Amino acid sequence: MTALAHEHRPPAPLRLRAHWTDHAARAAIAAVVLLLVVFLALPLGAILRQALEGSDGRFVGLANFIDYARTPALLQSVFNSLMVSAAVTAITVPLAFGFAYALTRSCMPLKSLFRGIALVPLLAPSLLSAISLIYWFGNQGLAKDLLQRFGIDQIYGAPGIILAECLATFPHTLMILVSALTLADARLYEAADAMGTTAARKFFTITLPGAKYGLISAALVTFTLVITDFGIPKVIGGNFNVLATDVFKLVIGQQDFARGAVVAIVLLLPAVLTFAVDHIVQRRQTAMLTARAVPYAPRPARGFDAAMTAYCTVIALLMLAMLGMAVFASLATFWPYNLAPSLKHYVYGLVDNEVATGFFNSLEMAAGTALIGTALVFFGAYLQEKTRGMETLRSTLRLLAILPMAVPGLVLGLGYIFFFNAPTNPLNGLYHTLALMTLCTIVHFYTTGHLTAVTALKSLDAEFEAVSASLKVPFFKTFWRVTLPICTPALVDIARYFFINAMTTISAVVFLYSPETRLASIAILNMDEAGELSPAAAMAVLIAAASAVATVLFMLLGRFVDRRTQAWRGTAR
């Protein structure tokens, strides 16, 4: 009442006097933002600039886009890309849904084995499946007749791309659907049972609506993965052009940077759309499951479980046939005439072609990515979540950390060429170095690591920093004694994710290597181009083996770390 009369607005908002630790935190957050600006925002800006400039460097507005739209061959690629991506999405999502349903809603035996086999394609570059398909159905393929009996003339082109992409995207789609189907509230099913609902009705009124957002998300992610994938169409596409191969041909083959930039921006559209929709969908999905939900536990049902086991066996056999063929072919002395096993392609094919170094480059880059990437991602996430002040910088960081999810590797790599290859750029010296490729890979896979770190940090009590300040303990001491030890399992997860992806990535780094810094995954492409399919298969198998070993090592590390730092978890009352 009378207080209103006293109400006054001070002229300027007050600020607390900064403690020196506040300055340290601010400098650190500024450094992370600067890093992401230089290695993400500026390269993307360079693409836009390139797309809007003529060959003489003058601003030409949308002229490049109009020119592009008038080129029939390029427009054909747009159609091809859309068609292939739609087909793969239509095939993979239902197949993966069935598999995910078996994993989450049945009492099928050997679940973790089935799950492990389905995730195998993640360990190798996506083009491993393309190479295997060539050995199965290519001109000298073992089962070529089978293909022709289905009325498909040859595997090269759309059929090969679609089949290979189905195998390569399956684990990604599966993981999304498994997590969607895991989020089920048992009480809904109990209520339905109490009302005597049939199984089919329960499926259509509870299960499917519950997994709706997961399905949307899975479809979008699958579509984007396919439309932006470069390795598979390159290996098995033949004369069937898609957007991703166009970018490569335009930029590397014809040095037509302007058109390459235009195609890159076209490629960016579905990815950005996916990202935006996924973002909204994720938010709804989490809101759906309340804290009081009772987790669903499947009950044994003989017929259903047997059917699910049969289905998963078929899919798992297909996966194994794909991986097995690559292993088998890489060991065959002289395909298809002498199938006796030998290490010829590993020894002569790789070492003598001087591509063996690529394998060590890959290992070096993967180790660098895992180490530096994990440190950077976690530190960035910590500063974003747990320090105070600097709101503008903080929201910039938040945006930059999420952005890589919406940028296909191909587009990022292109941006790096435009930006770092420019003679006027003081960072030009980085071009072609393993260091730049490492940074590019870190940025490429930044978002997933960032989200993992943020989730781990958000699970900590929000008041740790406030308590520390009240006890006059600087924030970095609490970071070291409390935050970091609690989050080590998440750190191991992030490092493993970075390592495996760095081993298998092609799309971004394919623009950045030099003969000295060639990676194993790129060597596969080169050997395939040179017609050396057997050594290419050998290299792909080597990568898969290295990734598998790394996964096991990371698992052991995780267990060791758990024992060292998570003792407090196991001691609940």
Partner 1 sequence: MTHELSLELRGIHKAFGSFVALRHIDLGVRKGEFMCFLGPSGCGKTTLLRVIAGLEVQTGGEIRQNGRDISRLPPAQRDYGIVFQSYALFPNLSVADNVAYGLVNRKMPRAQIAARVAELVKLVGLPGSEKKYPAQLSGGQQQRIALARALATSPGLLLLDEPLSALDALERVRLRQEIRALQQKLGVTTIMVTHDQEEALSVADRIVVMNDGRIEQIGTPLEVYREPASPFVADFVGKVNVLPGRVHGDRLTVGTLAMHANGAGAAGAGGSGSTNGADRDVRVYLRPEDVLARPIAEGDPHVFDAAIEKIEFLGSHCHVRVSTPAFAPHGLTVYLSLNYLAEHSLQVGSPLRLRLLEERVRVF
Amino acid, res. 67? D
Given the rule CB under 8 A, which of 67-75, 341-349, 473-481, 518-526 is the region that contacts partner 1?
Answer: 473-481
CB of 398 to partner 1, least distance (A): 19
Q: Which is nearer to partner 1, 50 or 478 (CB)?
A: 478
Q: Which is nearer to partner 1, 433 or 566 (CB)?
A: 566
CB of 460 to partner 1, least distance (A): 8
User: Can you tell me the distance from the alpha carbon of 502 to that of 565, in angstroms, rounded to the nearest whole number?
Assistant: 27
- Compose the 94-133 pattern: x for residues touching partner 1 by CB under 8 A, - for all others: ----------------------------------------
Q: Can residue 530 be called a binding residue for partner 1 (CB under 8 A)?
A: no
Instruction: Give the residue from 262, 278, 261 showing the smallest Cα distance to 218.
Output: 278
Q: Which is nearer to partner 1, 284 or 569 (CB)?
A: 569
Q: Which is nearer to partner 1, 10 or 196 (CB)?
A: 10
Q: Can residue 287 be called a binding residue for partner 1 (CB under 8 A)?
A: no
Name which position in 45, 238, 474, 558 contacts partner 1 (CB under 8 A).
474
Name which position in 464, 557, 561, 562 contacts partner 1 (CB under 8 A).
464
18, 81, 394, 396, 556 from 32: Cα distances, Å: 20, 36, 10, 10, 31
DSSP state string for 384-448: HHH--S-HHHHHHHHHHHHGGGGS-HHHHHHHHHHHHS-TT-GGGGGTT-HHHHHHHHHHHTHHH
Instruction: State yes or no: cis peptide before 336, omega within 30 of 0.
Output: yes
DSSP reduced 3-state for 547: helix
Instruction: Give the residue from 506, 502, 512, 508 showing the smallest Cα distance to 420.
Output: 512
CB of 478 to partner 1, least distance (A): 8
CB of 474 to partner 1, least distance (A): 7
Given the rule CB under 8 A, which of 53-61, 67-75, 293-301, 563-571 is the region that contacts partner 1?
Answer: 563-571
DSSP reduced 3-state for 332: strand
Instruction: Give the residue from 539, 533, 507, 234 showing the smallest Cα distance to 357.
Output: 539
Q: Can residue 573 be called a binding residue for partner 1 (CB under 8 A)?
A: yes
Assign residue 342 a region (left: φ > 0; alpha: ψ between -120 and 50; beta: otherwise). beta
Q: Can residue 568 be called a binding residue for partner 1 (CB under 8 A)?
A: yes
User: Can you tell me the distance from the alpha carbon of 126 to that of 504, in angstroms, rounded to the nearest whole number?
Assistant: 8
CB of 395 to partner 1, least distance (A): 15
Contact by Cβ (8 Å): 401, 450: yes
Q: Which is nearer to partner 1, 29 or 524 (CB)?
A: 29
Q: Which is nearer to partner 1, 25 or 221 (CB)?
A: 25
Name which position in 486, 492, 510, 550 contacts partner 1 (CB under 8 A).
486
Given the rule CB under 8 A, which of 85-93, 351-359, 480-488, 516-524 is the region that contacts partner 1?
Answer: 480-488
Name which position in 76, 154, 197, 565 contacts partner 1 (CB under 8 A).
565
Q: Can residue 37 be called a binding residue for partner 1 (CB under 8 A)?
A: no
Name which position in 187, 279, 283, 477 contacts partner 1 (CB under 8 A).
477
Number of C-alpha atoms within 13 angstroms, CB side, residue 115? Answer: 15
Q: Helix crossing, 391-402 with 374-386: angle to 10°?
A: 140
CB of 473 to partner 1, least distance (A): 5
Please report where in the chains the tokens 């060991």 appear, as a residue: 331
168, 463, 474 from 387: Cα distances, Å: 40, 11, 11
CB of 457 to partner 1, least distance (A): 14
Q: Can residue 463 be called a binding residue for partner 1 (CB under 8 A)?
A: yes
Name which position in 27, 297, 340, 572 contacts partner 1 (CB under 8 A).
572
Rounded to 5°, angle at Cα 187 from 185 and 191: 135
The size of the interface with partner 1 (CB under 8 A), counted in residues, is 43
Contact by Cβ (8 Å): 92, 319: no
Q: Which is nearer to partner 1, 25 or 525 (CB)?
A: 25
Given the rule CB under 8 A, which of 12-20, 193-201, 254-262, 343-351 is the region that contacts partner 1?
Answer: 12-20
DSSP reduced 3-state for 299: coil
User: Can you tell me the distance from the alpha carbon of 573 to that of 565, in angstroms, rounded to the nearest whole number?
Assistant: 18
Q: Can residue 390 be called a binding residue for partner 1 (CB under 8 A)?
A: no
Q: Can residue 563 be called a binding residue for partner 1 (CB under 8 A)?
A: no
Contact by Cβ (8 Å): 335, 135: yes
**Residue 174 φ/ψ, nearest 5 degrees:** -60, -45
Name which position in 31, 473, 557, 561 contacts partner 1 (CB under 8 A).
473
Q: Can residue 470 be called a binding residue for partner 1 (CB under 8 A)?
A: yes
Q: Can residue 461 be called a binding residue for partner 1 (CB under 8 A)?
A: yes
Name which position in 252, 399, 462, 552 contacts partner 1 (CB under 8 A).
462
Given the rule CB under 8 A, which of 10-18, 85-93, 133-141, 407-415 is the region that contacts partner 1?
Answer: 10-18
How many other C-beta atoms lie within 10 A of the C-beta of residue 86? 16
Given the rule CB under 8 A, which of 3-11, 239-247, 252-260, 308-316 is the region that contacts partner 1?
Answer: 3-11
Q: Can residue 292 be called a binding residue for partner 1 (CB under 8 A)?
A: no
Given the rule CB under 8 A, which of 111-119, 321-329, 333-341, 474-482 is the region that contacts partner 1?
Answer: 474-482
Given the rule CB under 8 A, which of 61-69, 89-97, 199-207, 464-472 is the region that contacts partner 1?
Answer: 464-472
Instruction: Give the residue from 87, 247, 79 showing the smallest Cα distance to 160.
Output: 87
Name which position in 58, 149, 302, 472 contacts partner 1 (CB under 8 A).
472
Which are the contacts of 285, defined by CB distance < 8 A and separation ≥ 6? Answer: 180, 183, 213, 214, 217
Q: Can residue 469 be called a binding residue for partner 1 (CB under 8 A)?
A: yes
User: Can you tell me the distance from the alpha carbon of 546 to that of 364, in angstroms, rounded to the nearest whole number?
Assistant: 12
Which are the contacts of 308, defined by CB distance < 8 A and separation ≥ 6? Answer: 101, 102, 106, 108
Q: What's the chain's Rg over C-alpha atoms?
A: 26
Q: Can residue 8 be called a binding residue for partner 1 (CB under 8 A)?
A: yes
Beta bridge partners of 338: 334
Amino acid, res. 527? M
Binding residues vs partner 1 (CB under 8 A):
3-4, 6-10, 13-19, 21-22, 461-464, 466-474, 477-478, 481-482, 485-486, 565-569, 571-573
